[in-house]
Chain A
Amino acid sequence: MKIEALGIEHFYGHEKVLNGVDITITPGSFTAIIGESGSGKTTLLSILSTLLQPTFGNVQYDGKILSELGNIDRFRRTNIGFVFQFHYLISYLTLRENIALGAIEESRVDSLLESLGISNLSHRYSDEVSGGERQRAAIARALVNAPSVVFADEPTGNLDSKNALGVYELFREFSLQGTGFVVASHDKKIADYADVIIEMEDGVVKKVYK
């Protein structure tokens, strides 16, 4: 799915944090968004992934703006995955239940648990597993409906470098199978995995390269 942001401006109250962003995410690509803290990465990612409505401008998905996509929740469920810096697993559900919560096809849950190497932990709760395992479960949740694109906001921010590399490897694996990734990160290593790097500064795109 091709995603195009056109003239995005966003305000939190009176504070303008995105000041005219125009970018295109090509289908199946691995895009990295980098930039200093406060430059607007999270805000942009939220808007691209339909989790936040921009104050001005719009985002097109294969040429269609949000209001033309019909039920937005259903669109999000089938097309978009999101991985947060904090795992945000629901604490009263087991890892498996967390992943199955939004699953359209229950059958994918177990194969994902398997391929992410956490099938032996599937009946544990999030506070009973390690940080890296939690993040794997969160990634499985994002991938469960085989979305065309997964957005990840500092997915390795809470992990040590070994676990962080594991996450990037996982992304690469799924990326090779055709899932698009848009990853915001401070981590310079992300550049090794990305096809495109978008650099943000003070609410605008400073440059796009590679």
Chain B
Amino acid sequence: MITPLKALRKNRFKTSLIFVSMSVSIAAIFLISAISGGVVSMYSAMLKTDGDIIVTQKGIADTFFSDINRSLNDTVMNMVGVKESSVLILGAAPVDTLPIVGIYGVSENRFKSYSLKQGSIPSQGEVMLGSKIYETLKHPKTVTLSKKEFRVSGVFKSRIGFEDGGVVMNLVDAGELFHKSASIFLVSLNDLSQSDAVLKEVNLLSSEIEAKTTENFIDSYNQFKIIKTSSDVIGAMAFLMGILGIVSMMSMVVSDRKAEFGIMRSIGLSSSTIIFKLLSETLIIALAAYAVALGTSFGILELIENADKFQGYINGEITVTLMINVLIVSVVMALVGTFLPAFYASRIDPMSLIQRGGA
């Protein structure tokens, strides 16, 4: 392992270039995956809070468009196996100076799932603010929501960024604001084994509604698919850019070092040994770049999470799985990017390599 380090030190400038470009690509992959994963997992977490089953309007693409009759919830609540069922209206509206904020109208029984930091739960004409938006708006006494003024009754803390940056109110007010009876029901069960029976019963209740397990709903949720696909596409582009960057820079490195490789061949080192040497050099760079990119990504995500501008909506999550996946991606990127030019050079006669390259 001494030789690759010495070679890297000798070629400091290009080593740094490769290092920087790899770090940027890897950080880009981390951030886009973390942020999109964060969005998906935040929304999932919100739905999963006290929700084993989710009821929406049938065939609807997005929960924001869903419109169902909230009186049906009374029937659902009394079904065998149902522990609790709450009604939510999901919407978005401008709040004071903020152009768009998530608004959650919730039934009385759901208020207890918010941990109140100060004040009380909202009655009619009142709202409860997430701690993040409360800070952003500088501790307001009242807020204007779609031209209507509401008194701030309390502040709650939620680790789910959407909620912490959002506004919670009671169903009646939200119903007037968004002109709907309910968006979704979140049903929690006494026992998960009853879910099939409850699903069946709810689905028989009305032809307008559709019940799914929350897991199932999240898997098939279109918005998540779109987010995930776009993040995969952007991630793949960052990956390709990374590979192209490494290929072009490694081509320069290999070209600069033709004579060196020709000499190595002339003393009988095999092409594969030389390719292996080069691969270990880039592997070292890749691992260092990975470490730096990981650290930087954590730092950037921390900044974004705490930035007022994003109201806590962007909440990146670097999971162990993501770390492992990106590590594999980084290593593949480095190996492929190096192998191509190295392999090309290995096909040339040693003497031609020596004559064509400076030492």
Contact = CB atoms under 8 A, between A and B. Distances in A.
Interface of A: 46, 49, 51-53, 71, 73-74, 76-78, 80-82, 84, 86, 88, 90-93, 97, 101-102, 141-142, 144-145
Given A52-B351, A52-B352, A92-B9, A71 B264 contact: no
Nearest to B2: A97
A102 B263 CA distance: 10
The main secondary structure of chain A at its interface with chain B is: loop
Closest 10 CB pairs of A and B: A77-B268, A102-B267, A92-B10, A73-B270, A51-B351, A46-B351, A52-B351, A92-B6, A76-B268, A51-B350
B265 interface: yes
Contacts of A90: 260, 263-264
A141 B267 contact: yes
A53 B349 CA distance: 7
Contact of A77 (B10, B262, B269, B271): B269
Nearest to B265: A73
Given A84-B354, A88-B259, A92-B7, A52 B349 contact: yes
Nearest to A138: B263
24 contacts: A49-B266, A51-B351, A52-B349, A52-B350, A52-B351, A71-B270, A73-B268, A73-B270, A73-B271, A77-B267, A82-B266, A84-B354, A88-B263, A88-B354, A90-B264, A91-B10, A91-B359, A92-B7, A92-B9, A93-B3, A102-B267, A141-B267, A144-B267, A145-B268
Contacts of A49: 266
Interface in B235-271: 259-260, 262-271
A52 B355 CA distance: 11
A76 B264 CA distance: 11
A102 B259 contact: no
Contacts of A77: 267-269
B349 A51 contact: yes
A43 B267 CA distance: 18
A76 B266 contact: yes
A160 to B, nearest CB: 21
Interface string B265-301: 1111111000000000000000000000000000000
Contacts of B259: 88
Given A46-B351, A88-B359, A90-B260, A51 B266 contact: yes
